[in-house]
Amino acid sequence: MGKETWVLLPYNPDWRWLLGRDDSPWYKSVKLFRQKNKDEWNEVLQNVRLNLERKLSININYAINENGKMNFDKKYSEIEKIINDNKLDIALNEIQTLLTNDPLPYRAFNFLGILFGKTKNYVKAEEYFLKAVNLKPEFTDAVSNLAIIYFEQNRFYESILLHKKSVEINNTNPKSCFNLAYAYQEFGEIEKAEENYKAAIKLNPNYADAQFNLSLLKLLKGEYQQSWNAYNEWAFLSCNRTIRNINKAKWNGENFSGKKLYVYPDQGMGDVIQIVRYLPLVKELGGEVIFECQSALYDLLKTAKGFDKIVKTNSDFEITEEYDLHIPLQNLPEIFNTSLETIPNYFSPLKPGEESNNKWKNKIVNPQNYKIGFVWTGNPYPPINNKRHASLNDFIPLFEINGIDFYSLQIGEEAKELENYKKHFNIYDFTNDIKSFEDTAALINNLDLVITIDTSVAHLAGAMNKKVFTLLPFIPDWRWGLGSSSTLWYPSMKLFRQKERGNWGSVVAEVREEILSSNKYQVSSNEKPETGFRTAASGTRLYLALSAGENFGWGVCSKYLNR
């Protein structure tokens, strides 16, 4: 009949509706709405609703102005909010509508680039950002976004050139200055990064991200005393940390005899382990110290020094104790005006309880062997984790050293990656039995060395005064400073730094040489075959390559074989 018809299709439709299209070659007047997931109709109906609103012009979000035309500025603002809420499918539908209505859709192309960037499809993201820039060369949002995409692809020089172009187009835009500063920072141009953070702040003194990043940069350079105040002041605004409902006075470092001081964590567990050393200094200044810590740290820290009472953080972050003054734990370096020279690195090492220590001692398989604990990736949630992530293949040169048993300290889903490796190397994984940091500490206490990416395990091993090798990205977290292989925070720790961004192989090679230089260990005799494939050790490499091929295709497989 040629009537306009909308057909709702299940995940596996009848043959005549084909796949992946919203029209039908059989009926020109038919529009198809498909399930994205089996038996889920909500998203289909939401899509129908959006199309109805669009068709009937009753969607108030279309922001029709008094001349009956679409208010594009308002519409693009609404789409930006939808993208920020991570409703990417809805955003895509709205953008497609704008592509047909906006006579100069450079902003729509920019948003499409953002959508593809969020899904790490950098080729398509680059395509749409370039379309936006070609339509409007002075559109700094697209120029900056294209620079970010280049940065994610390790095209650093191109990225910096584009960020500089964005600043040249509009030198009154603080965000462009910030983006250029961050690119310089990650490229290792620290002074240029600082210059551009300051430029962003000059344009907008309340730019929290720029203020906070500048404080981190100064801490990284070792300018502690000039940085603590800004670091603490801007952290909550920049990092969206939970602001507690506290109506008592904040402690200013003065003597508090006769009063109760409540000290609580405001950052992650690694930070708590690092800064808890200040509590004895706090205790020297007065009355009763009540220390709050995360539940996972409670058993480990309950025997630490510097407080009268220890309590666990509750789910609502409410303080149930009676107190007179309060201070976030991370403020203590500022309270004591800490410089590189005055870091309190002569502290009582943390240690597990005797019962826990004995339990984990009994799990050690070959007590006579040299025992190394290892962690290859950090917490998956912080954005910085893409810098703190090595692969297990990067660690193979270590696993191949004879006479060493390796004990995984990796917690979480990533630990499942070990299965293939345990079949071919002396790797043991008891992490399913780790319920708290005291368990981790007890296992570490029964090892000879810990090798870890920058994680809370690095802080824990350092705070226990255990020998620890910490592997750092090209631009590390502020506390590790620049250039040195040692750290004043942990005397027992040695730092191994990336020489180029993303290259963990060279870092592991340095660690391997450090271990072999002790002359206690030797590499497997099969490690360097004269010809052809190896037998035992070679089988390991070939097996991993085939595993990769089964899941990811022969492109990835060949990558492993070439190694």
477 shares a domain with 376: yes
408 shares a domain with 318: no
261 shares a domain with 298: yes
Q: Look at residue 408 and tell me whether its pLDDT is greater than 70.
A: yes
Q: Look at residue 127 and tell me whether its pLDDT is greater than 80.
A: yes
The DSSP H or E segment spanning 544 is: helix 536-552
pLDDT digits (tens, 9 = 90+) for 25-47: 899 889 998 998 888 887 888 78
Q: Where are the beta strands (DSSP E) in 409-504?
A: 427-428, 449-453, 468-472, 493-497
482 shares a domain with 429: yes
For residue 62 the two structure tokens come to 């279309």
Residue 162 lies in a domain: no
Residue ranges of alpha helices (H) inside 204-316 are 208-220, 228-239, 269-275, 279-283, 295-301
Longest distance between any two alpha carbons in the chain, whole Å: 90
Comparing 115 with 46, which gets the higher pLDDT? 115
Residue 512 lies in a domain: yes
Q: Look at residue 99 and tell me whether its pLDDT is greater than 90.
A: no
Residue 334 lies in a domain: yes
Comparing 97 with 384, which gets the higher pLDDT? 97
pLDDT digits (tens, 9 = 90+) for 219-255: 999 999 999 999 998 887 777 666 787 889 999 999 9
Cβ–Cβ under 8 Å, residues 504 and 390: yes
For residue 546 the two structure tokens come to 């085939």
Residue 406 lies in a domain: yes
For residue 13 the two structure tokens come to 């439709």
Q: Look at residue 136 and tell me whether its pLDDT is greater than 70.
A: yes
- The mean of the pLDDT values for the chain is 86
Say what the pLDDT of residue 53 is: 61
The arithmetic mean of pLDDT across residues 303-319, rounded, is 92
pLDDT digits (tens, 9 = 90+) for 430-488: 999 999 999 999 999 999 999 999 889 999 999 999 999 999 999 999 999 999 999 99
Say what the pLDDT of residue 348 is: 85
388 shares a domain with 514: yes
554 shares a domain with 442: no
Confidence grade of residue 57 (pLDDT, cut at 50, 70, 90):
very low
517 shares a domain with 561: no
Say what the pLDDT of residue 520 is: 63
Residues 127 and 329: their CA atoms lie apart, in Å, by: 47
Residue ranges of alpha helices (H) inside 88-221 are 88-101, 106-118, 122-135, 140-152, 156-169, 174-186, 190-203, 208-220
Residue 158 lies in a domain: no
Q: Look at residue 269 and tell me whether its pLDDT is greater than 90.
A: yes
540 shares a domain with 492: no
Residue ranges of alpha helices (H) inside 22-121 are 42-56, 72-84, 88-101, 106-118
Residue 4 lies in a domain: yes
327 shares a domain with 393: no
Residue 304 lies in a domain: yes
Show the 3-state SS of 147-185: HHHHHHCCCHHHHHHHHHHHHHHCCCCHHHHHHHHHHHH
Comparing 529 with 111, which gets the higher pLDDT? 111
404 shares a domain with 261: no
For the domain that residue 274 is a member of, what is the CATH number? Answer: 3.40.50
Confirm whether pTM is higher than 0.85: no
The arithmetic mean of pLDDT across residues 361-381, rounded, is 89
Question: Total structural domains in the chain?
Answer: 4
pLDDT digits (tens, 9 = 90+) for 375-384: 999 865 544 4
**What is the CA angle 200-206-207, rounded to 5?**
45
Residues 81 and 69: their CA atoms lie apart, in Å, by: 22
For the domain that residue 386 is a member of, what is the CATH number? Answer: 3.40.50.2000
Residues 195 and 193: their CA atoms lie apart, in Å, by: 5
Say what the pLDDT of residue 540 is: 38
Residues 407 and 442: their CA atoms lie apart, in Å, by: 13
Ordered strands of the 493-497 beta sheet: 427-428, 404-408, 370-375, 449-453, 468-472, 493-497
DSSP state of 139: -
Cβ–Cβ under 8 Å, residues 250 and 266: no
Say what the pLDDT of residue 509 is: 97
Residue 302 lies in a domain: yes
518 shares a domain with 386: yes
The arithmetic mean of pLDDT across residues 176-190, rounded, is 94
Q: Which has the closest alpha carbon to 363: 411, 296, 426, 433?
A: 433
Q: Look at residue 173 and tell me whether its pLDDT is greater than 70.
A: yes
Q: Which has the closest alpha carbon to 223: 339, 127, 130?
A: 339
Say what the pLDDT of residue 557 is: 37
329 shares a domain with 386: no
Residue 260, φ and ψ in degrees, nearest 5: -105, 125
pLDDT digits (tens, 9 = 90+) for 529-563: 232 323 233 333 333 433 333 333 333 333 333 33
**Residues making up the chain, counted from first to last:** 563
Say what the pLDDT of residue 551 is: 34
Confidence grade of residue 508 (pLDDT, cut at 50, 70, 90):
very high
Say what the pLDDT of residue 259 is: 97
Confidence grade of residue 519 (pLDDT, cut at 50, 70, 90):
low
The arithmetic mean of pLDDT across residues 356-370, rounded, is 95
* Residue range of the domain that includes 403: 354-523
